[in-house]
Amino acid sequence: MAGAVATQAHNAAAQGLVVNSDVAHRELTGADKAAVLMLALGPDHGRAIFEELDEIEIRHLSRAMANLGPISQTMLDGLLTEFVTDISSNGNIAGNSETTERLLLSFLPADRVDMIMEEIRGPAGRNIWEKLSNVQEDVLATYLRNEYPQTIAVVLSKLNTDHASRLLAIFPEELALDVVQRMLSLDPVQKEVLEKIEATLRTEFMSNLAHTQRRDSHEQMADIFNSFDRQTETRFLSALEETNRDAADRIKELMFTFDDLLNLEPSAIQAVLAAMDKNDLVLALKGASDDAKNMFFSNMSARAAKMARDDMENTGPVRLSDVDEAQGRMVNIAKDLAARGEIIIAKGDSEQMIV
């Protein structure tokens, strides 16, 4: 294996993966070292290693490769000597998103690579203008306010019309009118000017956005807690309340639970009931409060409500875990319907809407 590492690393250098010998020495993290080694090994020898990694490890390593930048010959030599004795190479490795994507495509399905690279690159899109069209309007507007109106006009002229209109609506009126006037008289932009604007947006805005735009950790944790069974959820929330009351309260606010179904409009409740498996409905209601039972029964026909009550009585005792799972499936049905725009689900009061 040591000989293969050395040979492949040397071949990678000879093939042009190793460049710019004047790069200064810098300390590498463990992930950086792994990234350098994988780039040096290339797809033939690196594939077997990648196949042994799980999804999280692949994403972590891919991000390190994409952000690696230039690696000097001295750094490469020092790294390789950690794996093999008396080995050196004659160049440097440069890691970027393109080389990372090519390597991943050599052994992973294209759709899986797209997911990994999308996470690394930030908002979706194959070019800078598609990516900007996937950036939230308020975030992009805040950045563009600091640019010259002529530059803003060029940017908006390259975006899709819906996105551009929403951006103009956010700008201060004076700036928006100035940009509109400039867009009306905008001449074809020289290629060099457009490339400079694209490069600035890519380096100063998109790269920072990819690193700073992160999902609220409380939202992520609320989703995790939603997936717990009732006993586990109660145990974790109780423990968190003792150590971090604010975080526990925030998570509870963001969670959408079976009890929140009580806040649905009658038409939404009926849509959920229509999509429910009858056995799941019986199980879910077996462990529900009297208020919840009455609410669901009131949104059924008299015949359906009577059948549900009869089934609940005839079912006998059931395990709490089965009830939790059935109620969880009911909540998921509501979320799926909301995601498709068929219903609106409210969390807490009517001012907090989840769609």
Task: Give me the pLDDT at residue 84, please.
Answer: 56
- Give me the number of domains the chain comprises: 4
**For residue 71, what are the β-bridge partners?**
93
Domain boundary among 121, 139, 163: 121
109 shares a domain with 71 = yes
* DSSP alpha helix (H) spans, 106-206: 110-121, 128-132, 137-144, 149-158, 161-170, 173-184, 191-200
**Shared domain check, 197 and 105:** no
In this predicted structure, the answer to whether residue 55 has a pLDDT above a threshold of 80 is no
Is 242 in the same domain as 290? no
Residues with Cβ within 8 Å of residue 349, at least 6 apart in sequence? none
Buried b (16+ CB within 10 A) or exposed e, 89-115: bebbbbbeeebbbebbeeebeeeebee
Half-sphere exposure of 200 (CA within 13 A, CB side): 12
Secondary element (H or E) of residue 27:
none
DSSP state of 21: T
pLDDT of 120 > 80? The answer is: no
Indicate whether 223 and 250 sit together in one domain. Answer: yes
Which of 79 and 62 is assigned the larger pLDDT? 62
| Residue 263 or residue 5, greater confidence | 263
Contacts of 163 (CB under 8 A, 6+ apart): 132, 133, 137
Q: Do 235 and 291 belong together in one domain?
A: no
- CATH number of the domain that residue 245 is part of: 1.20.5
Spatial contact of 312 and 286, defined as CB atoms under 8 Å apart: yes
- With contact defined as beta carbons under 8 Å apart, do 226 and 256 qualify? yes
352 C-beta neighbours (distance < 10 Å), count? 11
| Co-location of 71 and 101 in the same domain | yes
Q: Does residue 108 have a pLDDT over 70?
A: yes
Which of 193, 212, 231 corresponds to the end of one domain? Answer: 212
Is residue 29 within 8 Å of residue 67, measured between CB atoms? no
Share of the chain above pLDDT 90, in %: 13
Domain range for residue 51? 2-121
pLDDT-derived band at 271 (thresholds 50, 70, 90) equals very high
Mean pLDDT of 254-277: 86
Judgement on whether residues 171 and 77 belong to the same structural domain of the protein: no
Based on the fold, state whether residues 11 and 111 are members of the same structural domain: yes
Q: What is the pLDDT of residue 307?
A: 92
What's the rounded Cα separation, in Å, for the pair 54 and 63?
A: 14
Same domain flag for 34 and 91 = yes
Are 338 and 354 a contacting pair, CB within 8 Å? yes
Query: Are 205 and 274 members of one domain?
Result: no
Say if residue 260 is in the same domain as residue 349.
Answer: yes
Q: State the pLDDT at residue 223.
A: 74
Note the pTM of the prediction, 2 decimals: 0.36
Q: Is the pLDDT of residue 50 over 90?
A: no
CA quadruple 317, 322, 323, 324: dihedral positive or negative? positive
Higher pLDDT, 52 or 122: 52
The whole-angstrom separation of Cα 186 and Cα 105 is 41
**What was the pLDDT predicted at 113?**
75
- pLDDT for the residue 14: 41
- Same domain? For 11 and 61 the reply is yes
Query: When comparing pLDDT for 38 and 302, which is higher?
Result: 302
Q: Which of 202, 228, 255 is the last residue of a domain?
A: 255
Model pLDDT, residue 301: 92
Band of residue 299 on the pLDDT scale cut at 50, 70, 90: very high
CA distance 228 to 236: 9
Reply yes or no on whether the pLDDT at 337 is more than 70: yes
**Residue 104 scores a pLDDT above 90:** no
The first and second tokens of residue 330, run together, are 């009911």
Give the CB-side neighbour count of residue 95, counting CA atoms within 13 A: 27
The model's confidence at residue 89, banded by pLDDT at 50, 70 and 90, is very low
CATH number at residue 145: 1.10.220.30
Nearest-angstrom CA–CA distance, 148 and 187: 16
The reported pLDDT for the residue numbered 211 is 46
